[in-house]
Amino acid sequence: MRLLVTGATGFLGRHVVGEALRRGHDVRAVVRPSSTAEAPELDHSRVELARVDLRSKRGLVEACANVDAVLHLAALKSGDMYAQYSGTVVATENLLEAMVLAGAPRRIVGVSSFAVYDYLHKRSRTVLDEGSDLEPEFPPRDEYSHTKLVQERLIREHAERQNWDYVILRPGIVYGPDNLWTARLGISANERRWLRIGWLATLPLSYVENCAEAIVLAAERPGPLALTINVIDDELPTQASYAREVLRRLCPRPRSRTLPWPAMRLLAWCAWVTNRMGLKGRAKLPAILIPARLHARFKPLRYSNRRLHESLGWSPRYSLAEALERSLRP
């Protein structure tokens, strides 16, 4: 297959390109015009670079021509709502429009996120899977979850209107080399100090190479397709066990302090009530003092990847221990 990969220079995108090549596909990798990102995966005879910026329509139709499927990973994770709209939503609008104008491809794999789920109203220790309630688009919980929700909706609406095959993949926390810290552990003030929140919550981890394989499998799976699948590994550690494994391997080891989840939950609730009652909700609080955001990061839940196994025939290539070793390999 010839695959168009957006976000190809990103942390996950580089591994998706590598996995696609490993499985014998040709890749057209979307990189920004002035990008100088050095990724060994892109320096390959079966990789063609498409230097376009998805926030603009220029050159996008040509980029979408003569490919069998689009693996859409590009998104902006930081910045205010308008920056993330531009980098995630407008980028997706432009890509979908270009796919229509190009006449092909007729298959899209959209990479979304666990950020789309509603955690606040979900009961602790219940199972979160693809059927769980989503965060409402309005009012937005935060910029990232809102723009990912809109992005998912756009892909679904376009695919159904155009009769395309589509798979929405929702990876959990994607980790790997240079990316072992996760906001579900707490707050990382810097490389030397961690303030952790909670011990016992299960982390919905997805090792980057395992995740990349799932994304390429979704592109390969015979149609017709209209699927939404969570992407997480089989072996999911708790916050405490993951932090212990990571800390054991880091040198120098960061200093780490932990706040109990119930205490943090109470603190956020008090801050929320004070804001609502005393300040008419106008105060801008830190994310960990906003209950909906706090619960999204630290609430103890259980997770299922049954659909990932059944629909894509996926099984993780690397265990947690192997993944950590590979992540810290020099």
Identify the residue among 130, 137, 142, 245 touching another protein (CB under 8 A).
Answer: 137
Query: Cβ distance 219 to 70 under 8 Å?
Result: no
Q: Cβ 94 to another protein, closest distance in Å?
A: 9
State yes or no: residue 279 binds another protein (CB under 8 A): yes
Nearer to another protein, 74 or 205 (CB): 74
Separation of alpha carbons 4 and 47, rounded Å: 10
Say if residue 165 is exposed, middle or buried (CB neighbours under 10 Å; 0-12, 13-18, 19+): buried
Separation of alpha carbons 293 and 289, rounded Å: 8
Stretch that binds another protein, among 134-142, 180-188, 235-243, 304-312 (CB under 8 A): 134-142
From residue 27 to residue 46, the character string flagging contacts with another protein as x (rule: CB under 8 A) and all else as - is -----xxxx-----------
Q: Cβ 161 to another protein, closest distance in Å?
A: 13
Of residues 282-301, those binding another protein (CB under 8 A): 282-285
Q: Tell me the H-state helices in 72-230.
A: 81-84, 91-102, 143-162, 208-220
Separation of alpha carbons 286 and 139, rounded Å: 17
Q: Cβ 163 to another protein, closest distance in Å?
A: 21
State yes or no: residue 85 binds another protein (CB under 8 A): yes
Q: Which residues are paired to 174 by β-bridges?
A: 206
Of residues 139-198, those binding another protein (CB under 8 A): 139, 150, 154
Query: Cβ distance 259 to 197 under 8 Å?
Result: yes
State yes or no: residue 233 binds another protein (CB under 8 A): no
State yes or no: residue 313 binds another protein (CB under 8 A): no
Q: Cβ 310 to another protein, closest distance in Å?
A: 33
Separation of alpha carbons 290 and 269, rounded Å: 8
Instruction: Please count the residues of the chain.
Output: 330
Measured on CA atoms in the order 271, 302, 245, 183, is the torsion positive or negative?
negative
Cα dist from 55 to 6, 10, 208, whole Å: 12, 16, 26
CA angle 100, 102, 107 (to 5 degrees): 60
Identify the residue among 15, 55, 107, 158 touching another protein (CB under 8 A).
Answer: 55
State yes or no: residue 89 binds another protein (CB under 8 A): yes
Nearer to another protein, 116 or 320 (CB): 116
Nearer to another protein, 121 or 284 (CB): 284
Identify the residue among 40, 80, 121, 252 touching another protein (CB under 8 A).
Answer: 80
Of residues 93-112, those binding another protein (CB under 8 A): 93
What are the residues binding another protein (CB under 8 A)?
Answer: 32-35, 53, 55-56, 80-83, 85, 89-90, 93, 137-139, 150, 154, 279, 282-285
